[in-house]
């Protein structure tokens, strides 16, 4: 019996060690121009972002660099990628994953006359890979920023206004992934020494983001749209499908990621839909859903909380996770915190941006800020305030509910302009932060020196997104 078992073990070991039995490596093709090629770095064989990506992913992957300097996506461009040997090599490699990073050189003056062809030709380019027998996962990469001043050359205004929207249109029309590299480096000109080509550190930012994407576990089956019975109008939200529909008489929205993370995570925008959406876009890339239920202008009163409670129930029945990331910009801070105070077990994280936390400060104008007389009159009707005496004792702001908020034990992040003249920090976030910490709450404040109420968020949302992913309950 022992002899028979030994023979079986020996045979099995031989099978495992045989070349045919070994699991084939996942092949990743990196398509692009000089930034993909690695122009400008000391050693492109190790420093180009495909090489750094290979090092990050390890031996189970083969990352191939098919970058060609100066090339365009446009067929009529001054140097079409279509005509290169590397393009044919990439197709012949039968890749499992394809990263496409083209469009930078298309922004040159010499190529701008052909930009009307960009969307259709990009779709053709994508199809040349999706038709392969390997059926690769295709991921579009938005160009990194250019800091050049010469408007005839690679010009960031054209990248932002023409190239990026076109790539997002392709992502929407073809329902394929798109990753925003522009935002990742927009605040890091020191990593782009010649104003176009990232150095080794800048390329590592790209490589780390792509490695994170490749490694992330995905649910590619879940589709929240199929779980919502209401009639929906589908439009593009920066390359993602956004459903607009009515629920309980309110305007609602859900943005579907290209795939869901395993937890079916979501971020709930409270107010000012579409304003500075970079955090939401970064989370969509990571499989989060973005949702919205319009309760303007109820200023977080009992009716607003009730409407949100009903919407929350709908989203839970549709399969989203139990706890939401709440996002409150300006007066949206009142909405998220008043709801969170009543629903502490349903909150994973609060991201508040120049938030109103004391309604007597804004719109009341009872402090040093200007307030808003018209909104103050609306608020008095929402809360049935009948006299100035009642308004002076008003106690339905987040500032009045800190004990309930802290009991929720969810992390909080505020991003604030230190020179906010509309919602002064010393009447809102600063006393709120002090009281939260005194009660043992978890709050972080990112200060923007000399910044005003607008613009909200950060041009590069990475610090916000990293904290959400790291700290959320």
Residues 204 and 307 in one domain: no
**pLDDT of 389:** 60
How far apart CA 267 and CA 468 sit, in angstroms, is 10
> Rounded mean pLDDT of 379-384?
94
Domain count, the chain: 2
Q: Using alpha carbons only, what angle is made at residue 89 by residues 83 and 91, rounded to the nearest 5 degrees? A: 90
Instruction: Select from 215, 244, 268 the last residue of a domain.
Output: 215
**At which of 215, 246, 275 does a domain end?**
215
pLDDT computed for residue 388 by the predictor: 72
Question: In this structure, are 356 and 431 located in the same domain?
Answer: yes
Q: What is the mean pLDDT of residues 417-437?
A: 97
Does residue 446 sit in the same domain as residue 459?
yes
Three-class SS of the chain: CHHHHHHHHHHHHHHHHCCCCCCCCEEEEEEECHHHHCCCCCCHHHHCHHHHHHHHHCCCEEEEEEECCCCECCCCCCCEHHHCHHHHHHHHCCCCEEEEECCCHHHCHHHHCCHHHHHHHHHHHHHHHHCCCCCCEEEEECCCCCCCCCCCCCCHHHHHHHHHHHHHHHHHHHCCEEECHHHHHCCCHHHCCCCCCCCHHHHHHHHHHHHHHHHCCEECCCCHHHHCCCCCEEEEECCEEEEEEEECCEEEEEEECCCEECCCCEEEECCCCCCCCHHHHHHHHCCCEEEEECCCCCCCCHHHHHHHHHHHHHHHHCCCCCCEEEEEECCHHHHHHHHHHHCHHHEEEEEEECCCCCCCCCCCCCCCCCCCHHHHHHHHHHCCCCCHHHHHCCCCCHHHHHHHHHHCCCCEEEEEECCCCCCCHHHCHHHHHHHHHHCCCCEEEEEECCCCCCCCCCCCCHHHHHHHHHHCC
Does the pLDDT of residue 10 top 70, yes or no? no
Tell the burial category of 334 from Cβ atoms under 10 Å away from its Cβ (0-12, 13-18, 19+).
buried
15 assigned to some structural domain: no
Assigned domain for 17 exists: no
Phi, psi of 97 (to 5 degrees): -135, 140
pLDDT score recorded for residue 386: 84
- For residue 44, being part of any structural domain is answered with yes
| Same domain, yes or no: 260 and 160 | no
Residues 312 and 207 placed together within one structural domain of the fold = no
Q: What is the mean pLDDT of residues 75-80?
A: 98
Whether residues 389 and 443 share a domain: the answer is yes
Query: Each residue of 113-144: b (16+ CB within 10 Å) or e?
Result: ebbebbbebbbebbeebeebebebbbbbbbbb
| Polymer length of the chain | 473
* Average pLDDT rounded to a whole number, residues 424-452: 98
Which two three-digit tokens encode residue 191?
């990593």
The residue with tokens 């090339």 is: 71
Give residue 89's pLDDT.
98
288 and 356 share one domain: yes
6 in a structural domain: no
**In-domain check, residue 446:** yes
Are 337 and 465 within one domain? yes
Q: What is the pTM of this model?
A: 0.93
CATH number of the domain encompassing residue 154: 3.40.50.1110
pLDDT higher than 70, residue 16: no
Please state the rounded mean pLDDT for residues 426-432: 98
Same domain (yes/no): 251, 272: yes
Residue 259 has pLDDT above 50, yes or no: yes
Q: Which of 215, 242, 271 is the last residue of a domain?
A: 215
The token duo for 350 is 């609060």
Q: What is the CATH number of the domain that holds 368?
A: 3.40.50.1820
Q: Per-residue pLDDT for 136 more than 70?
A: yes
> Domain of 366?
220-471
Residues 194-212, mean pLDDT to the nearest whole number: 98
- The rounded distance, in Å, linking the Cα atoms of 62 and 86 is 16
My answer on whether 211 and 225 are in the same domain is: no
pLDDT tens column, 18-42: 444 446 999 999 999 999 999 989 9
* Per-chain mean pLDDT for the chain: 94
Contacts of 26 (CB under 8 A, 6+ apart): 60, 61, 62, 96, 97
Q: Is the pLDDT of residue 4 over 90?
A: no
* Domain presence at residue 12: no
Is residue 3 one of the residues assigned to a domain?
Answer: no
Domain-located, residue 100: yes
Same-domain pairing of 204 and 279: no
* Residue-wise pLDDT tens digits, 272-288: 999 999 999 999 999 99
Are 86 and 188 within one domain? yes
Q: What percent of the chain has pLDDT over 90?
A: 93
At 393, the pLDDT band (50, 70, 90 cuts) reads confident
More confident: 214 or 14:
214
């Amino acid at each position: 019996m022992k002899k028979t078992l030994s023979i079986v073990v020996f045979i099995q070991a031989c099978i495992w060690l045989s070349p045919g039995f070994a699991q084939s490596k996942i092949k990743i093709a990196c398509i692009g121009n000089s930034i993909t090629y690695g122009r400008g770095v000391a050693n492109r064989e190790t420093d180009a972002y495909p090489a750094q990506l290979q090092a990050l992913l390890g031996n189970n992957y083969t990352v191939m660099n098919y970058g060609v300097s100066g090339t365009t996506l446009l067929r009529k461009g001054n140097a079409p990628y279509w005509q290169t040997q590397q393009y044919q090599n990439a197709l012949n490699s039968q890749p499992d994953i394809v990263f496409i990073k083209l469009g930078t050189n298309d922004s040159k003056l010499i190529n701008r006359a052909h930009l009307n062809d960009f969307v259709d030709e990009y779709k053709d380019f994508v199809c040349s890979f999706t038709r392969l027998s390997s059926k690769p996962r295709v991921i579009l990469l938005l160009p990194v920023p250019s800091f050049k001043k010469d408007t005839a050359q690679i010009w960031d205004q054209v990248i932002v206004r023409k190239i990026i929207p076109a790539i997002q249109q392709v992502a929407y029309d073809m329902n394929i992934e798109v990753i925003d590299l522009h935002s990742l480096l927009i605040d890091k000109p020191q990593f782009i020494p010649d104003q176009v080509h990232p150095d080794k550190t800048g390329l590592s930012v790209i490589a780390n983001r792509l490695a994170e994407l490749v490694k992330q576990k995905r649910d590619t089956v879940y589709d929240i749209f199929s779980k919502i019975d209401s009639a929906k109008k589908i439009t593009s939200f920066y390359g993602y499908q956004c459903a607009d529909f009515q629920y309980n008489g309110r305007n609602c929205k859900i943005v579907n990621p290209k795939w869901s993370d395993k937890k079916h995570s979501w971020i709930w925008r409270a107010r000012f839909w579409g304003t500075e959406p970079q955090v939401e876009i970064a989370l969509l890339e990571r499989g989060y859903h973005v949702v919205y239920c319009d309760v303007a202008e109820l200023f977080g009163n009992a009716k607003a909380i009730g409407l949100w409670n009903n919407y929350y129930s709908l989203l839970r029945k549709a399969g989203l996770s139990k706890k939401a990331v709440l996002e409150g910009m300006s007066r949206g801070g009142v909405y998220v915190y008043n709801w969170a105070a009543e629903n502490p077990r349903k909150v994973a994280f609060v991201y508040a941006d120049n938030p109103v936390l004391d309604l007597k400060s804004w719109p009341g104008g009872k402090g040093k800020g200007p307030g808003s007389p018209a909104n103050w009159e609306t608020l008095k009707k929402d809360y049935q305030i009948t006299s100035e005496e009642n308004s002076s004792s008003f106690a339905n702001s987040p500032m009045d509910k800190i004990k309930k908020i802290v009991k929720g034990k969810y992390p909080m992040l505020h991003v604030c302009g230190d020179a906010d003249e509309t919602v002064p920090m010393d009447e809102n976030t600063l006393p709120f932060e002090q009281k939260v910490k005194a009660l043992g709450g978890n709050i972080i404040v990112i200060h923007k020196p000399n910044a005003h109420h607008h613009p909200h968020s950060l041009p590069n949302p990475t610090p916000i997104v990293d904290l959400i992913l790291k700290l959320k309950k």
